[in-house]
Every structure is written in C-alpha cells, then in structure tokens.
Amino acid sequence: MEHSLVDSEIKVMNVLWREGDATAKHISDVLKAEVGWNMNTTYTLIKRCIGKGAIQRTEPGFLCHALVPKEEVQEAETNELIDKVYDGSAANLFAALLGRKTLTAGQIERLKRIVDDWEEAEE
C-alpha cells in the first residue's frame, strides 16, 4: 500500500473486510445506510483506495476486493497513534487504556493476559 488510509477510506475497507468482495454499488448502499454518504462520495473513496493499492476492481459489475488485510491497517494505524499521541511509547498507550474508568473487569483481565502472553513469547 503506497499511502496510509484516511478515516473515510477505512470505512470503505471495513465493508469489504466485514462482508467480503462486493460491488461498488453494494458498498455505496451500505455506507449510505451507515453514514449517509451519497454514491459519488463512496465511488470517489473507492477510486482513492484503488489508487493506493488497497482495493482491486474487476469487471463485470465493478467488483471490489480488499488487497490489504485489516490487521495490517490496524497495525499501521496503531503505530501512527502511538507515535503521534503517545510520544512513540506503547507503554504510555497501554497505561492510558488501563487508566480508563470505562474498562470492565473482563477487559482488564484480557489486557493482563495479552501482557502475560507477550512476556512469555519474549523469553
């Protein structure tokens, strides 16, 4: 992928990641219902994703296929967030997550397991 995706492009990608290959019209219909976008807006964003190498378009029917896995975009977005907001420190991000009052006991326990698994993998 040549450039990182902006939020609006990620909305387009989310439809493909969630539903698999889809026509541009279907993506447009979904995003009209979810965020109120018109067809031209969605088609413009699909074309931008194609230009960035994130989507492949095939005929017939302007069928769109995600070329970039969701996990790859999540990792890139997380790294950008850590660099931009947490001074490049994943520990600062993690501390911010743990400090949130909205986390449930189950979510906190899951974060602890992630750290434990990571520590075991590092040994």
Same domain, 55 and 95: no
Sheet holding 63-66, edge to edge: 22-23, 63-66, 55-58
Task: Return the structure tokens found at 121.
Answer: 């993998």
Q: Which residue has the tokens 């950008």?
A: 80
Which pLDDT belongs to residue 3? 59
> Is 101's pLDDT higher than 90?
no
Answer yes or no: do 17 and 49 share one domain.
Answer: yes
pLDDT tens for residues 1-15? 555 899 999 999 999
| pLDDT tens-digit readout, 32-91 | 999 999 999 999 999 999 999 999 999 888 899 999 999 999 998 888 889 999 999 988
Residue 58 included in any domain: yes
Residue 2 lies in a domain: no
Examine the domain organization and report whether 17 and 64 are in the same domain: yes
> Is residue 74 one of the residues assigned to a domain?
no
The answer on 55 and 15 residing in a single domain is: yes
State which residues form the domain around 111: 86-122
Kindly write down the DSSP assignment for every residue of 77-117, as one continuous string: HHHHHHHHHSTT-HHHHHHHHHH-TT--HHHHHHHHHHHHH
